[in-house]
Amino acid sequence: MATKKILGIGSALVDILTQIPDETILNELNLPKGSMTYVDAQTAVKIGELVTRQYGSQRASGGSAANTMSGLAQLGIEAGFLSKIGKDEVGQFFEKQMTDTHVKPLMLKSDTPTGRVQALVTPDGERTFATCLGAAAEMCADDIKPELFDGWDIFYVEGYLVANPTMLKKAIETAKAKGLKIAIDLASYNVVEENRDFLLELVENYVDIVFANEKESFALTGMEPEAALNFIAERCEIAVVKVGAKGAYVKRGNEIAAIPPMEANVIDTTGAGDMWAAGFLAGLVQGENLQKCGMMGAIVAANIIEVVGAKMDDARWNKIYASIAKL
């Protein structure tokens, strides 16, 4: 049986990563620790200049769904990514990084600059995002054509796209009509809080697989992790609730898998949820049981948090392959 192919949709963003010594600058910039805050281009430039001047920075292609697609491709799964970028050097950088990680980029183009994220990482590894969507915010319902979904089996959506509800709903409806399964990662607790009713509507009517962490599942359901897991699982095929250092829970019908935590030296949690989803989905499309899928997710996530940013080198991926092979 051929392995299923996964198409992701999300904001094409370039991450500008900076490690900061404490929370002082977050307070100065009014950025809640651990959150994702949308900012305009002027504010993004101001933050970038301020933190880079003091602490330096490094650059990598990013965006939640883009990270997951890159992880899937590294795990041998055919993956594509749909978004909109600017006709600028930053957009070229993003598209090249997608191609270099063996993801098929389906990039729409705009005269607006490519989106970027200032990712501020505190010593405990927690990351706080200031996001300027740029061209990615211009993706609209008219851009969503049925033929984009030809040849794909699963449509993976980043929850941040609820900021563009008309486009997102059309994309999900179109993919569903083409026979694709729909997976969504809820992305950030504050995004869930602001869009709870819309997200619940999507989950109840369209979504097959939901990924959430403890804060996100609480924001969606008002319940603690295990109760939230049951609530979500009643509304979709597979529910995943990650509980940080305590591991994760996965439920499909009456089947529940408790995924133990993995030991890791936490440096930067950027991309942890994205890579957990990549590992889990890689197992799922290869026909693995829920326990192994969850363990694969945990292995990839445990490795990404030991590096700065959401990209890993070949040596790190070889370590991941070896760990998965032992499952």
Task: State pLDDT tens for residues 116-135.
Answer: 999 999 999 898 999 999 99
Task: State pLDDT tens for residues 217-265.
Answer: 999 999 999 999 999 999 999 999 999 889 999 999 999 999 998 999 9
Range of the domain at 297: 6-325
Residue 67 lies in a domain: yes
Residue 315 lies in a domain: yes
Residue 250 lies in a domain: yes
Residue 239 lies in a domain: yes
Which CA distances in Å does 184 have to 59, 62, 199?
A: 26, 17, 10
Residue 134 lies in a domain: yes
Q: What is the pTM of this model?
A: 0.89
Residue 1 lies in a domain: no
Residue 120 lies in a domain: yes
Residue 244 lies in a domain: yes
Quote the number of domains for the chain: 1
Say if residues 171 and 152 touch (Cβ distance below 8 Å). Answer: no
Q: Which stretches of 11-148 are assigned E, i.e. beta strand?
A: 13-19, 36-38, 58-62, 79-86, 104-110, 114-121, 127-134
Give the Cα separation of 71 and 151 in Å (integer).
20
Task: State pLDDT tens for residues 41-93.
Answer: 888 888 988 998 999 988 888 889 999 999 999 999 999 999 999 998 889 99
CATH number for the domain that contains residue 223: 3.40.1190.20
